[in-house]
Amino acid sequence: MIDPEAIKNLLHIYVIILHLEDYPEDDIDAFCKAFISAATKLPVDADYQELADLLSDILAQYHKSIIKAANDRGDRGIDVKIINSLKPYIISNLSDFENKINAITHSDINIIEKYHFNNKSVYYSGTEQTRLNYFEALENGISLNPDFAGILPAVTAFVEEITKKYDSKHKIKTTIGFDVSSKKGLVAPLKKSLLTCYYGTCKLNIDDLSKITDYFKKEIMDGRNKSPNFLYVNEYMINVLAGMMKNDPRPSFDHSGFFKAESKGLGDGMIFLSDIPNPTVIPARAKLLKAGQTIEFAIADIGSLTEFYLIFAAITPGEDFILKLTVKPKK
């Protein structure tokens, strides 16, 4: 009997592909790249590589079509050639930042992915406004993390230098469109290729269809258009005043599950379970979440089955601890 959850996920992914034109360009790109990455790394099977190559070829054409569409709209795609010529310089600087951050974080993969050091092409390819957004996000993220204070001046100078390449242009319309709902012709070949990859992956995993979610990351496509204050089920915004501890009874969890914690403020914090609602001491098993950091950990790591109270502590002097907590089921 097929797991009902696996069927639900299969249908979810299928609907995403069928309605691909309704998603922003960035999400479509990330969704496709996630499949290519998984199909290249997860199995040792030429059939997967063939699917990955097929999608890669179509994705490259999609990128070209999007850039052309941006030019036709009068967007700032005129600067594409300038930034492409700086590709080696951009990669060199990003690699230097990556090495320095790795030394500080002990090569935390979450940090690498957060700043797209594992996919540096986002900084010099695609539509211009998309690249500008990545540069801005890099600088903002570094500035919000006290651990990276030593490299912030270099990052700021680098971002300013690159973005000035755009600002030097004149009389160029700067209205950027990300919604591809009116570009079905551009998305159609990509949708067809994705469906081929979907059917092929299902066939290769016919004995265990739950594996399909390893290749098609539906979470990339979900929730991107929601309002900033909207939370899905099992998502919670938590604010702990500076120097305080807080017991939050809202999250419903099982000790066999996982927490994903995303820092949204300037203060560091600790997360742990307690057998009393108002502890005064932070135990050694507590998980540290630094400002600007995202971590995922097993709930069993922060307390025992007899500890029911979820405690958050703000530990940075003068700064509140603000985070989004997601309860995730057992992996």
Q: Please check the confidence at residue 25 and state whether its pLDDT lies above 60.
A: yes
Q: Are residues 242 and 319 in the same domain?
A: yes
Strand partners, 331: none
Per residue in 101-140, pLDDT (tens digit) is 988 988 888 888 888 888 888 887 766 667 777 888 898 8
Residue 173 belongs to a domain: no
Are both 142 and 203 inside the same structural domain? no
| 45, 192: one domain | yes
Can you give the residue range of the structural domain that contains 298?
235-328
Does 82 lie in the same domain as 69? no
Residue 201 and residue 143 share a domain: no
Quickly state the pLDDT bin for 46 (edges 50, 70, 90): confident
pLDDT tens digits for range 133-164: 788 889 888 887 888 888 999 999 998 888 77
Residue predicted with more confidence, 182 or 17: 17
pLDDT given at position 66: 61
In a domain, 11, yes or no: yes
Mean pLDDT of the region 23-29:
77
Q: Judge whether 230 lies within some domain.
A: no
Question: What pTM did the predictor assign?
Answer: 0.40
For residue 258, the SS3 value is strand
Residues 314 and 248 in one domain: yes
Query: Is residue 29 included in any domain, yes or no?
Result: yes
Which CATH number goes with the domain that contains 315? Answer: 2.60.120
Same domain, 103 and 24: no
Q: How many domains does the chain have?
A: 3
Look at residue 227 and tell me if it is in a domain: no
What pLDDT, on the 0 to 100 scale, is given for residue 312? Answer: 96
pLDDT at 71 over 50: no
DSSP secondary structure letters along 128-160: HHHHHHHHHHHHHHHHH-GGGTTTHHHHHHHHH
Number of H helices, E strands in the chain: 10, 8
Tell me whether residue 154 is in a domain: yes
Question: Do both 8 and 157 map to the same domain?
Answer: no
215/266 same-domain check: no
Q: CA-CA distance, 49 to 36, in Å (whole number)?
A: 8
Same domain, 69 and 183: yes
Question: Residue 277 pLDDT > 70, yes or no?
Answer: yes
Give the mean pLDDT of the chain: 81
Cα–Cα distance list, 192 to 170, 188, 206, 214 (Å): 39, 6, 21, 20
Is 226 inside a domain boundary? no
Is the residue at 37 inside a domain?
yes
Q: Which residues contact 143 (CB under 8 A, 6 or more apart)?
A: 152, 156
Residue 202 has pLDDT above 90, yes or no: yes
In the prediction, which pLDDT does 151 show? 92
**If pLDDT is split at 50, 70 and 90, which confidence band does 166 have?**
low
Backbone dihedral region for residue 270 (phi beyond 0: left; psi -120 to 50: alpha; all else: beta):
beta
Based on the fold, state whether residues 152 and 13 are members of the same structural domain: no
Residue 257 has φ and ψ, to the nearest 5°, of: -90, -165
Asked whether residue 303 falls in the same domain as residue 157, the answer is no
The dihedral built from the CA positions of residue 293, 296, 298 and 299, taken in this order, carries a sign that is: positive
